[in-house]
């Protein structure tokens, strides 16, 4: 077990993209981060090193853990490994998620793709939250965070906006938004706050293949703030919630989408 007094945040899918942006922001605020990856160990190690540089003035610690969030065995091993290494978990950020391997119209989408996205994007974080919450509810630990243990679900504007060429993704994220509300309602009287961060169009590996499409849409006014979102935009939102800046707002949805969700004529 590591000798550190820093709060420990488990951030899934934190080797790249939004997850890396969240990990870096938390490091800057003195949190230790358990960084997870699936196949790109090098990227996870880069994230850990960047976090160490960002947290040079604190005793925060950054380790990497390989996990398929859609696997029950992997999830159980992950929690056990993080607890063994750090001795605690003060917050869970469910960020890991995948896009369809092929963007098919819903008239041609496959059940295999649907099942893969549900397992990773919805079932995985839903039951990882169950495992971590069960550990918190034993009452054997006191949170190092100012206002108690916390869970953040990173969903997507696709929770509410339709893309008919990736229906399985939209459904998985809509389900995860409901999952965030369910866990917020269940855990509120346990002193555990649950939030949802709902990103819009963020510049990551996942969106790189459709950059030209979204560049054009942004130029046409799709996003009121007229720019791509960055992983750091989500990191700043997560850090504020982890710090305890919204202690009386469990169940709140934080949009990081430049105003894209605003209904407009």
Provide the domain limits for residue 156.
Answer: 8-255
Residue 34 domain flag:
yes
Kindly state the tokens that stand for 14: 């934190």
Q: How many domains does the chain have?
A: 1
Examine residue 261 and state whether it is found in any structural domain, yes or no: no
pLDDT in tens, 131-179: 999 999 998 889 999 899 999 999 999 999 999 999 999 999 999 999 9
> What are phi and psi for residue 261, nearest 5 degrees?
-80, -10
pLDDT tens-digit series, residues 104-127: 999 999 999 999 999 999 999 999
Tell me, yes or no, whether 3 lies in a domain: no
In a domain, 82, yes or no: yes
Whole-angstrom distance, CA of residue 43 vs CA of residue 23: 13
Burial of 73 (0-12, 13-18, 19+ CB in 10 A): exposed
Residue 214 falls inside a structural domain? yes
Tokens linked to 52: 């160490």
Instruction: Report the CATH number at residue 92.
Output: 3.40.50.720
The helix/strand/coil state of 64 is strand
Evaluate whether residue 263 is within a structural domain: no
- The number of CA neighbours under 13 Å toward the Cβ of 139 is 1
This prediction has a pTM of: 0.96
Please say whether the beta carbons of 150 and 193 come within 8 A: yes
Please tell me whether residue 256 adopts helix, strand or coil conformation. strand
Per-residue pLDDT tens listing for the chain (265 residues): 677 899 999 999 999 999 999 999 999 999 999 999 999 999 999 999 999 999 987 899 999 999 999 999 999 999 999 999 999 999 999 999 999 999 999 999 999 999 999 999 999 999 999 999 999 999 888 999 989 999 999 999 999 999 999 999 999 999 999 999 999 999 999 999 999 999 999 998 888 888 999 999 999 999 999 999 999 999 999 999 999 999 999 999 999 999 999 999 8
Residue with tokens 């819009």: 200
- Within-domain flag for 260: no
Assigned domain for 130 exists: yes
**What gap in Å lies between CA 35 and CA 136, rounded to an integer?**
20
Q: Determine how many CB atoms are found less than 10 A away from the CB of residue 189.
A: 7
Backbone region of residue 253 per phi and psi (left: phi > 0; alpha: psi in -120 to 50; beta: other values):
beta
φ and ψ at 197, to 5 degrees?
-105, 125
């Amino acid at each position: 077990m590591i000798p550190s007094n820093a709060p420990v945040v488990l951030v899934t899918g934190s080797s790249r993209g939004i997850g890396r942006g969240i990990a870096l922001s938390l490091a800057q605020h003195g949190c230790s981060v358990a960084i997870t990856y699936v196949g790109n160990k090098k990227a996870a190690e880069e994230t850990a090193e960047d976090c160490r540089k960002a947290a040079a003035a604190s005793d925060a610690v950054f380790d990497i853990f390989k996990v398929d969030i859609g696997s029950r065995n992997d999830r159980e091993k992950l929690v056990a490994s993080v607890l063994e290494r750090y001795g605690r978990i003060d917050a869970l950020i469910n960020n890991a998620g995948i896009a369809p391997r092929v963007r098919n119209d819903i008239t041609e989408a496959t059940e295999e793709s649907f099942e893969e996205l549900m397992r990773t994007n919805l079932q995985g974080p839903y039951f990882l939250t169950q495992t971590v919450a069960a550990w918190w509810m034993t009452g054997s630990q006191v949170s190092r965070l100012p206002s108690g243990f916390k869970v953040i679900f990173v969903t997507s504007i696709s929770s509410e906006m339709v893309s008919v060429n990736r229906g399985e993704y939209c459904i998985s994220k809509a389900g995860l938004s409901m999952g965030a509300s369910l866990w917020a309602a269940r855990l509120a009287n346990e002193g555990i706050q649950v939030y949802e961060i709902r990103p819009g169009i963020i510049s990551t590996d996942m969106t790189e293949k459709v950059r030209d499409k979204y560049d054009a849409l942004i130029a046409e006014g799709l996003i009121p703030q007229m720019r791509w979102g960055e992983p750091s935009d989500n990191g700043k939102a997560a850090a504020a919630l982890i710090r305890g800046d919204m202690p009386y707002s469990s169940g709140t949805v934080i949009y990081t989408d430049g105003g894209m969700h605003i209904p407009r004529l």
